[in-house]
Structure 1
Amino acid sequence: MSEPVQMLDEGALLDRVQAPDGREILDAATREVIGRAPVHTVADLDAAVDRASAAQPGWAALGHERRSELLLAAADAVEAHAEPLARLLSREQGKPLNGPNARFELGACAAWLRATAGTVLDPEVLVDDESGHAELVYKPVGVVGAIGPWNWPLMIGVWQIAPSLRMGNTVVVKPSEYTPLSVLAMVSVLNDVLPDGVLAAVSGDREVGARLAAHPGVGKVMFTGSTATGRKVIEASAGNLARLTLELGGNDAGIVLPDADPTVIAQDLFWGAFVNTGQTCAALKRLYVHDSIYEDVVAELAAVAEQTPMGPGLDEGNVLGPVQNPQQLAIVTRLVDDARARGARIVTGGGPAPELGELFYRATIVADVADGVPLVDEEQFGPVLPVIGYHDVEDAIGSANRLDVGLGASVWSGDRDRARAVADRLQAGTVWINSHGGLHPMAPFGGIKGSGYGLEFGVEGLKSVAVPQVIHG
């Protein structure tokens, strides 16, 4: 049995993981210092991989049942610390406590740990007749290197950690330089119930991330982030032929068909785009609306945007927060300013909100734009949604498919069969009908084209962090 989990508040969690001489981490909303993140080196990473390699055979030998029990204990530990972790996450990442944000993210961490613990991957009988018997089984890869992003650092971290551990691998996590403290704190909580050496987090710069992708002791790399960085991960992993799961950038398109009711879909459209203040890979980032209802959809979206509270995340009334970092704010500002200069109509928002804080940008709806405008063609990754009109659904489908991304897409209609016919023609790893961005731990998730490859979640997610073996006889 695992030892009872020691209950820690936010300050105690910080004290566990921060370093007195480390790098200052600022509150995304107030720009005050939260704490100091350790700056680990390549040598620290090498030592972590060595420890993980040494621990892996014993972890695998525990068997699926015992590993699942420990994942369930890990879920309990996360739930026991959900509030202090959510508060630390809110300060570091910027997302508010409420809405589909920090508390939601901690709930998802526990839910995915439990779902992964309960997912069964049985041997598959391939041949069983007079010619012989053969079955397919899955074995651990060894050490998994998990390189995480700053937008959903804890939830995506669990997406990488949970299946890897479930299949008998050990894991070395490299969190984003923007959100290391919350990840280090969550790993510390998980390690209260896991055996020594099974899970480690190394907080360092890009050199450390590059070494993790290229490390000869790592058999699998899981990366979530930009397409440009994903290409570098591929290059770095070539030397050791590490297996890869890459969840890269998206510029998800939504198509609103003429029979949709703007008043019915407006809230779901808004949150499909503005979840986590628009800083989500599979958020709705360009919306194509039939010209017969175009102005109504634009007006309804603007009304929702204007009524949705934005501000510091620890204020219980807010559900939209800041852009997480100055570099991303500069991208958002550039794209909106460029669209304005090209004649786009800024329906609401369109600029910073300095009265809220340095990194706040108003929820923005942009109309009268077209394909080819950078705001449409590039991933804005912030609180902005361009709305593009169309007349012929064939043109909308062509527009949705024309970019070299394919993470998610959505179709909005009062006629499900009609929506399904359009959905079948969209080039994306996931297509939603009358919603956007919702995920389920048993439904595989992954991108196509420039949005990466490999699947996460469910049985397919377990297979992706294992090596297949066919046994004859």
Structure 2
Amino acid sequence: MALDILNPATKQIYKTIGTSTVDDVQVAVENSKTAFVTWSAKSHEERAEALHAVANAIKAAGAELASMVTSEQGKPLGLAQFEVGGAVGWTHYNAALTMEPEVLEDSPERTVEVHRMPIGVVASITPWNWPLMIAIWHIMPALRAGNSVVIKPSSLTPISTLKLADIINQHTIPNLVQVVIGEKEVGEPLLTHPDVKKVVFTGSTPVGKRIAQLVAGDLKKVTLELGGNDAGIVLENANIDALAEKIFMTSFVNMGQTCACLKRLYVHRSKYEALCDALVKIAAAQVVGDGMQSGVTFGPVQNASQYEKVNAMIAQAKASGAEVIAPELPAGLNGYFIAPTIIKNPPITLDVVCDEQFGPVLPIIPYDDLEAVMETAIHKEFALGGSVWGEPSEQLEWVISQLDSGTVWVNNHAEVLPHVPFGGNKSSGLGVEFGMEGLLENTVRKVINRAK
């Protein structure tokens, strides 16, 4: 069946591709099994060399890949180029990781070592917000560990993933990364296929829980990076002039369509108006438009469903009496555009506060009592990331100790690094990605105990 990929800045068809069938899934897994036999037999040095070559090829194709990402996802071209650069760096990083046996004991009685073995076929399900980068996050540690991958990208943003798979297969072995296109009629047969040994998923918590149910019967290994509703706490001693720009960028990066964005901001009342004013000015300075046009800094929301969801949250906030501040959109825009929106003094029961917006809107809540507001800031369900903003103090250290998220940032937010494990607590995820810990999630353990 033909699938039209829309450019969210224009709502025009960017590309038309075919979708996969259940038979295509079967073929992809069979090809992946065959590739696994060859790839897993290669030495660590051979796999590392091949992945470094992949990274160089991604860099060489950077202009094409960035154009693809902007055209299918909507982000400004400069941000798409950043995404390509991240893909290059993450690939080089994973290529350079080593997996030497860990010696647990070397005594007169015995030698005990832990070896790490590849799992087999890994199934990857990726979202539409960072289509190239998240595919890299899923694929590269799996390949470095010796596995093969079948990936199902979002049906909204598959084009850059198809190109990435071609690049990988050209510089490794044929069919090492297979791509299937479709929705759950393709995804569920992939996840439940008996020859798939691990699943990695980035997306919403409800879908992540459904995936966990689907794969539990086969005891497949699983890594889930799920939703968040990250809170930031601005302390009374915070330097607003120094922090406002970073707070805006970590709230609105990728038009707020990032799992680890700062999504709820709690500000001490003494700094509330100054910070709101600063953020409103930064929002007004954004150039909203088609990401392929020069000078654009702020693109559209990726799809109609998300556009409607975010606008409904904004409408609810207006109806509640909260102050909603957003610059006017330029005339003539035809895509899914929402201006960067600040919501002042929202009731804490609003959807825009309680639920993950995943769009360009930030609720800002004043507080007087830090201990009291922390009871609200710590979400009952989500615990992906959190942050505290201010000068060194006992209060700052106390907030760090209280936040229960997988990552706590200090005077920053949403920063992910290839060497730093990243994952959520509570319903925000299972397992971690990145760093050696993330790499080892793509392996199985083999303990060798030698008596002397």
Alignment TM-score, normalising by the size of structure 2: 0.97
Alignment partner of 2:266: what SS?
strand
- Distance between the aligned counterparts of 1:377 and 1:152, measured in 2? 24
Alignment partner of 2:127: what SS?
coil
Alignment partner of 1:196: what SS?
coil
Range that drifts further, 397-406 or 211-220? 397-406
Query: Is 1:346 matched with 2:346?
Result: no
Equivalent residue for 2:339? 362
> How far off its partner does 1:390 sit?
0.9
Alignment partner of 2:414: what SS?
coil
Equivalent residue for 1:11? none
Equivalent residue for 1:214? 192
Query: Is 1:463 matched with 2:440?
Result: yes
> How far off its partner does 1:203 sit?
1.1
Range that drifts further, 144-153 or 132-141? 132-141
Query: Is 1:147 matched with 2:137?
Result: no
Q: Which amino acid aligns with 2:318?
A: R
Range that drifts further, 146-155 or 413-422? 413-422
> How far off its partner does 1:371 sit?
2.2
Query: Is 1:268 matched with 2:277?
Result: no
Per-residue CA shift, 1:172-230, capped at 9, x if unaligned? 01000110112112211222212012111111222111112211110000000000111
Alignment of 1:323-472 (within 5 A): 323-349=301-327, 355-415=332-392, 418-472=395-449
Alignment of 1:208-287 (within 5 A): 208-287=186-265
Equivalent residue for 2:23? 43
Q: Which amino acid aligns with 2:52?
A: L
Range that drifts further, 124-133 or 264-273? 124-133
- Distance between the aligned counterparts of 2:443 and 2:392, measured in 1? 41
| Matched-pair contact (CA < 8 Å) for 1:127–1:135 | yes
Query: Is 1:86 matched with 2:86?
Result: no
Q: Which amino acid aligns with 1:413?
A: G
Per-residue CA shift, 1:119-174, capped at 9, x if unaligned? 12222111222342211111001000010000001100000000000000000010
Query: Is 1:177 matched with 2:155?
Result: yes
Range that drifts further, 321-330 or 236-245? 236-245
| Matched-pair contact (CA < 8 Å) for 1:352–1:359 | no
Alignment partner of 2:151: what SS?
strand
> How far off its partner does 1:104 sit?
0.4
Question: Which of the numbers 21, 35, 47 marks the counterpart of 1:55?
Answer: 35
Question: Which of the numbers 102, 105, 129 marks the counterpart of 2:80?
Answer: 102
Question: Which of the numbers 120, 123, 126 marks the counterpart of 2:101?
Answer: 123
Shift in alpha-carbon separation, 1:442–1:359, aligned structure 2, 3 A: same
> How far off its partner does 1:339 sit?
1.1
Alignment partner of 1:270: what SS?
helix
Shift in alpha-carbon separation, 1:128–1:370, aligned structure 2, 3 A: farther
Alignment partner of 2:391: what SS?
coil
| Matched-pair contact (CA < 8 Å) for 1:125–1:134 | yes
Range that drifts further, 185-194 or 24-33? 185-194
> How far off its partner does 1:416 sit?
6.2
| Matched-pair contact (CA < 8 Å) for 1:377–1:403 | no
| Matched-pair contact (CA < 8 Å) for 1:94–1:322 | yes
Q: Which amino acid aligns with 2:442?
A: V
| Percentage of pairs with the same residue | 42
RMSD: 1.4
Alignment partner of 2:402: what SS?
coil
Per-residue CA shift, 1:35-82, capped at 9, x if unaligned? 112201111011100111112121011011100101000001100000
- Distance between the aligned counterparts of 1:205 and 1:353, measured in 2? 35
| Matched-pair contact (CA < 8 Å) for 2:288–2:330 | no
- Distance between the aligned counterparts of 1:320 and 1:151, measured in 2? 14
Number of matched pairs: 450
Q: Which amino acid aligns with 2:405?
A: A
Per-residue CA shift, 1:321-361, capped at 9, x if unaligned? 00000000011011111111111111334x87673223001
Shift in alpha-carbon separation, 1:122–1:418, aligned structure 2, 3 A: farther
Equivalent residue for 1:26? 6
- Distance between the aligned counterparts of 2:47 and 2:2, measured in 1? 34
> How far off its partner does 1:261 sit?
1.4
Q: Which amino acid aligns with 2:376?
A: S
Equivalent residue for 1:12? none
Q: Which amino acid aligns with 1:174?
A: K
- Distance between the aligned counterparts of 2:179 and 2:192, measured in 1? 17
- Distance between the aligned counterparts of 1:241 and 1:43, measured in 2? 24
Per-residue CA shift, 1:383-420, capped at 9, x if unaligned? 00000111111123222213310111111002266423
Query: Is 1:163 matched with 2:141?
Result: yes
Alignment partner of 1:379: what SS?
coil
- Distance between the aligned counterparts of 2:279 and 2:392, measured in 1? 21
Alignment partner of 1:84: what SS?
helix
Query: Is 1:303 matched with 2:274?
Result: no
- Distance between the aligned counterparts of 1:164 and 1:299, measured in 2? 46
| Matched-pair contact (CA < 8 Å) for 2:86–2:133 | yes
| Matched-pair contact (CA < 8 Å) for 1:361–1:383 | yes
- Distance between the aligned counterparts of 2:131 and 2:260, measured in 1? 15
Range that drifts further, 53-62 or 153-162? 53-62
Alignment partner of 2:100: what SS?
coil
Per-residue CA shift, 1:11-36, capped at 9, x if unaligned? xxxxxxxxxx6211111101121111
Q: Which amino acid aligns with 2:421?
A: P
Range that drifts further, 166-175 or 32-41? 32-41
Point out where structure 2 has 5 or more consecutive residues left out of the alignment.
Answer: none
Shift in alpha-carbon separation, 1:416–1:73, aligned structure 2, 3 A: farther
Point out where structure 1 has 5 or more consecutive residues left out of the alignment.
Answer: 1-20
> How far off its partner does 1:369 sit?
1.2
Per-residue CA shift, 1:432-458, capped at 9, x if unaligned? 111111111100001111111111111
| Matched-pair contact (CA < 8 Å) for 1:416–1:433 | no
